[in-house]
Structure 1
Amino acid sequence: MDDENVDRSEGYGERLLGLLLDRVRQMPPQLIAPLVAEEVGRMGGRDVSILLQDYAQETLVPLPGRGLVVGQPEPVADSPAWRSFLRGEVVEVPQHPSGVRMYLPLLDGSDQVGVMSLTLDTVHDDDRRLLRRLGGLVADMIVTKNAYTDQFFRARRREPMSVSAEIQWGLLPPLSMTVPQVAVAGILEPAYRVAGDSFDYALNDTILHVAVIDAMGHGLDAATMAAVAIGAYRHARRVFVSLAEKYGFMDDAISRQFGPDHFVTAQLMHLNITTGRMELVNAGHPAPLLIQEGRVVGQLESATTLPVGFGGKAPRVSEYNLRPGDRVLCFSDGIIEEHVSGGTTFGEERLIHCIDRLGRRPSDGLRADLRRLSHTLKRERGGHTSDDATLFMIEWRGGAADHLAVVD
């Protein structure tokens, strides 16, 4: 088509979203809420609320701000807000005597930031399309501004947080990621006191890189060691290629910084998201569980490797071929070593039983399923977590994503 014949005129939706894009670069964080409320008002909406997930993943908490409706936190329940959040879907609820309450997932990439709710008198497909795009833009604004304000952190924090937990939350990548070929999700417990547990991941071209770690000890000592381990892992990931080299780099960093009496257990993985080929180094961690069609079918066993920091030999890398739909669950010993009634440990057998029982239910997606598993395990362990406990799950789907780069 001739450039002169291309329609470059500004439509209504572009003007609405464009105003946000034009102003957001210089906008102070506290002015996001008033601008969003004004934008929604321009399209006939009212009663705008922005709900963010708390750190324990137990409630959706309202973000305070001029122009926003600030209600009570929404606990975990089968509410429209939670359905929208967990499934990443728009939920519409008719209001009496008129109007429709809309719940829009705030998606930063594929990670759920929260939910925006508003009311319209009537809803048409054009409204739905514009609101979905507005929700994505609001999520990006919140994530971007979060880098230089404490406003969103304070809204999400529901109880005092230890210094070690502050360090760990500052290290974490987004809690979930979804692309057509693979999805990941992770949870740390206890959210406000975690110290030595952490995880990290990156998708570089066709390789998903994953590390799940557990630094010995408690409090600041453990958090400091975990920070060094994750920092060394990221540096090695960005310089080296093999899992064995990553292990060696982390091992050297921990031993040099903390001496021979300190260590970090770790699982390091490479997953080719095109072929499903997984490489695994297990350095003192419980073996990951392989889940197929909702049931645990076995462990991903690997050669014995010393924990990071002990100066072990170069590890032997184990290899597995995943099938589309397979899930791999990594967990730290805090999950299975928690003492329950009678003084016995929770154990891996009970963990597997919980996974299999929940696997009989229809899936709501990886992140929702992992969150449900985490909360179920916490109830089964008596509602408390005395040691750090991590769950990290990978779902390999296969296929391709090239179609997303094609403009129809």
Structure 2
Amino acid sequence: STDNSIGRERLEKEYTKIYDLGVELVVSMQIQGKTKGLILLGRRVNNQPYNETDIEFIYSVGSLAIISLENKRLFLEELEKRKLEEELDLARDIQRNLLPLCLPRFDNFDIAALNISSKQVGGDYYDVIPLDEDNFCIAIADVSGKGVPASLLMANIQAFLQVICKQGMKIDEATGLINDLISENITDGRFITFFWGIVNTKKNTFNYVNAGHNPPLLIRDGKINKLEKGGIILGVMKTDIPYISEEVELKKDDVIIMFTDGVSEAMNKNREEFSDERLESVVLSIIDKPAELIMNGIKTEVQNFASGITQSDDITMVVMKAK
């Protein structure tokens, strides 16, 4: 079709640079009316001009070629998509297997936790680990990045924590050791924000360290305190400056809310973040409820706020209430 080609005369007038290269005919290669490539032809051996039949033939051959190439591209794209889906499924499985199947129960503490995985699968992690009859460890972490690499790093933090928390080390020194181990295992610029603490159920104390994580909220008598004492995020460098721990005495009805940035940074369709302020306001309105209802109340508010938007990050929370 002459609609899909540019002949010698037009080339000479409008496309002189191409014509000067010796091109006498340009035929487009199209799929569904869209040009995907061009065939450039020089002078014929017999010096005869290209006629309508020649152009139709070249156009047909070109269309077959471009359809074949497009099919190959789509096939490779589909393969890549499937490979990515398989990787994300693997990451999901790793994450699911690392999180506690059910939470241990304690007489004077009510604990609830959740993890809602995003489509990309992040590296959010939480754990509650009984240590002895008077103490348990509680932790939350957020590994930078998505997919399998984030999940594998999450597996590292889980393994280190499971072993180290049972060694009876001081929590600030233990955090330094965890950081050193993580730093040795990170080679690609990833890092982990990490918050953990040891609860003594006899003395009702909570001894914690915050390694660059979103400060958990301690709510007491309608006032919010942030648990910020600690040090740098894990994995950036070996422990140079020691981590600092802080001990908090917990009273009846005190609530501690630990969360990852998937909560506070959840976005709505106007690209506004849920924000720490909104989280604090929601928390204060439901603070008299049991831990699970507080957690579900926050989850509902976050999901309503971000309704209609694909969840871009994992949402993870741990709520602990002193009885």
* Smaller-chain TM-score bracket: 0.5 to 0.7
Distance in 2, Cα, partners of 1:296 & 1:188? 26
Q: Which amino acid aligns with 1:378?
A: Q
Residue 318 of structure 2 is matched in structure 1 by 392
More moved, 387-396 vs 245-254: 245-254
Residue 98 (structure 2) pairs with residue 165 (structure 1): no
Change (3 A) 1:190 1:379: farther
Structure 2: gaps spanning 5 or more residues: 1-87
Q: Which amino acid aligns with 1:382?
A: S
Shift of 1:234: 0.7
Shift of 1:316: 0.8
The superposition leaves residues 92-120 of structure 1 with CA deviations (integer Å, 9 ceiling, x where unpaired) of: xxxxxxxxxxxxxxxxxxxxxxxxxxxxx
Residue 187 of structure 2 is matched in structure 1 by 259
The superposition leaves residues 247-287 of structure 1 with CA deviations (integer Å, 9 ceiling, x where unpaired) of: 12321222112237221110010111122211111011111
Checking the alignment, whether the CA contact within 8 Å between 2:267 and 2:305 is kept in structure 1 is no
Change (3 A) 1:323 1:292: same
Residue 227 (structure 2) pairs with residue 300 (structure 1): yes
Structure 1: gaps spanning 5 or more residues: 1-160, 398-408
Change (3 A) 1:391 1:385: same
Shift of 1:180: 1.3
Question: Residues 167-206 of structure 1 correspond to what in structure 2 (within 5 A)?
Answer: 167-190=94-117, 194-204=121-131, 205-206=133-134
**SS of residue matched to 2:262:** helix
**SS of residue matched to 1:297:** strand
Change (3 A) 1:386 1:173: same
Distance in 1, Cα, partners of 2:152 & 2:298? 29
Shift of 1:333: 1.2
Change (3 A) 1:280 1:309: same
**SS of residue matched to 1:167:** helix
Shift of 1:225: 0.6
Residue 173 (structure 2) pairs with residue 245 (structure 1): yes
Change (3 A) 1:172 1:299: same
What percent of counterpart residues are identical?
22
**SS of residue matched to 2:91:** helix
Which structure has more relative contact order (CA 8 Å, sep 6+)? It is 2
Q: Which amino acid aligns with 1:256?
A: E
Shift of 1:175: 4.2
**SS of residue matched to 2:173:** helix
The superposition leaves residues 147-197 of structure 1 with CA deviations (integer Å, 9 ceiling, x where unpaired) of: xxxxxxxxxxxxxx7221211110112343332111221111226753300
Residue 266 of structure 2 is matched in structure 1 by 338
Distance in 1, Cα, partners of 2:254 & 2:184? 38
**SS of residue matched to 1:178:** coil
Question: Residues 42-53 of structure 1 correspond to what in structure 2 (within 5 A)?
Answer: none
Residue 142 of structure 2 is matched in structure 1 by 214
Checking the alignment, whether the CA contact within 8 Å between 1:326 and 1:395 is kept in structure 2 is yes
C-alpha RMSD of matched pairs (Å): 2.3
Residue 278 (structure 2) pairs with residue 353 (structure 1): no
Checking the alignment, whether the CA contact within 8 Å between 1:287 and 1:301 is kept in structure 2 is yes
Residue 268 of structure 1 is matched in structure 2 by 196
Residue 294 (structure 2) pairs with residue 369 (structure 1): yes
**SS of residue matched to 1:342:** coil
**SS of residue matched to 1:395:** strand
Residue 247 (structure 2) pairs with residue 319 (structure 1): yes
Shift of 1:245: 3.1
Distance in 2, Cα, partners of 1:273 & 1:237? 16
Q: Which amino acid aligns with 2:297?
A: R
Q: Which amino acid aligns with 1:201?
A: V
Distance in 1, Cα, partners of 2:225 & 2:172? 24
**SS of residue matched to 1:285:** coil
Change (3 A) 1:173 1:358: same
More moved, 283-292 vs 338-347: 338-347
Q: Which amino acid aligns with 2:305?
A: E
Checking the alignment, whether the CA contact within 8 Å between 2:113 and 2:316 is kept in structure 1 is yes
Checking the alignment, whether the CA contact within 8 Å between 2:140 and 2:194 is kept in structure 1 is yes
Residue 160 of structure 2 is matched in structure 1 by 232
Q: Which amino acid aligns with 1:374?
A: K
Question: Residues 115-130 of structure 1 correspond to what in structure 2 (within 5 A)?
Answer: none
TM-score (norm 2): 0.66
Checking the alignment, whether the CA contact within 8 Å between 1:165 and 1:193 is kept in structure 2 is no
Distance in 2, Cα, partners of 1:193 & 1:262? 16
Residue 25 of structure 2 is matched in structure 1 by none
Q: Which amino acid aligns with 1:202?
A: I
Change (3 A) 1:192 1:396: farther
| 1:380 corresponds to which of 288, 297, 305 | 305
Q: Which amino acid aligns with 1:225?
A: L
Residue 130 of structure 1 is matched in structure 2 by none
Query: How many residues align structurally?
Result: 233
TM-score (norm 1): 0.53
Distance in 2, Cα, partners of 1:385 & 1:260? 25
Change (3 A) 1:167 1:214: same
Residue 288 of structure 1 is matched in structure 2 by 216
